[in-house]
């Protein structure tokens, strides 16, 4: 495990980001990973609670990229959207994807995902990436940039698998937002969406949800 390894500090500086603002944790088991998961935390959180994901998923050929303190610009499902701010955050995610490609991982073996606002950002950034990705994950999140949808979806992502997981007891991002997100992705953009709803789950993740996420992920990058 290496936290903010040299390549990413150099990349952050080249992109004009300070390493203190964009703290990237990189976890890997293999010296030469062949797949990557970029995981985005929720607003007000850090990547720290998610660092167990490497051991929990036990995918030895996968590198886990966990940025902290990227600016989500107050994403929420029912507030006015700061589209310029979301675009800036999307560029940061796109630069992380490009860095993985530069490290030798093909874009179609890179999965972008996140929890809550991080899941919303994963959808926005993933659907607008110019090369086909391995997958997009949104846990307890929602569809942002609603005024641009579905025009914002690039042809490169038309076949990209999307996993949406949500608790039916979520009081913050209501479960109907997940249902509406999945419906719009499928019906308006023709995307490949899996929606899994978990009984009794609040604004958090469960063992069953993480199990389903892991199985879905492994099916894409095995």
Instruction: Please identify every residue annotated as catalytic.
Output: 116, 170, 203
Nearest Cα residue to 74 out of 59, 87, 85: 85
Q: Cα separations (Å) of 89 from 37, 147, 204, 205?
A: 17, 17, 23, 24
Which residue in 32, 203, 34 sits closest to 106, CA to CA?
34
Q: Please, what's the largest Cα pairwise distance for the chain?
A: 45
Instruction: Give the sheet arrangement for strand 35-40, strand by strand.
Output: 2-3, 23-28, 62-68, 35-40, 110-115, 135-139, 161-167, 192-198
Q: What is the DSSP string of 20-47?
A: TTSEEEEEESSSS-SEEEEEE--TT--S
Helices assigned H by DSSP within the chain: 6-14, 53-57, 83-102, 117-127, 175-189, 207-221
Name the token pair of 192: 């490949």
Specify whether the CB–CB gap between 167 and 203 falls below 8 A: yes
Asked if 205 and 165 touch (Cβ cutoff 8 Å), the reply is yes
């Amino acid at each position: 495990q290496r936290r903010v390894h040299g390549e990413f500090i150099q990349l952050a500086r080249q992109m004009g980001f300070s390493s203190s603002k964009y703290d990237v944790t990189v976890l890997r088991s293999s010296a030469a990973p062949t797949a990557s998961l970029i995981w985005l935390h929720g607003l007000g959180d850090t990547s720290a609670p998610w660092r167990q994901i490497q051991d929990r998923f036990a995918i030895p050929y996968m590198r886990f990229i966990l940025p902290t303190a990227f600016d989500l610009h107050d994403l929420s499902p029912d507030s006015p959207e700061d589209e310029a701010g979301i675009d800036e955050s999307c560029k940061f995610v796109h630069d992380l994807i490009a860095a993985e490609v530069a490290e030798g991982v093909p874009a179609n073996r890179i999965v972008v995902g996140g929890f809550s606002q991080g899941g919303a950002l994963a959808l926005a950034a993933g659907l607008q990436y110019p090369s086909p990705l391995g997958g997009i994950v949104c846990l307890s999140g929602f569809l942002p940039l609603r005024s641009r949808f579905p025009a914002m979806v690039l042809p490169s992502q038309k076949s990209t698998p999307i996993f949406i997981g949500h608790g039916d007891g979520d009081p913050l991002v209501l479960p109907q937002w997940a249902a509406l997100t999945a419906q719009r992705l499928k019906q308006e953009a023709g995307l490949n969406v899996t929606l899994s709803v978990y009984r009794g789950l609040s604004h958090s993740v469960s063992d069953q949800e993480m199990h389903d996420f892991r199985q879905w992920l492994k099916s894409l990058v095995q």
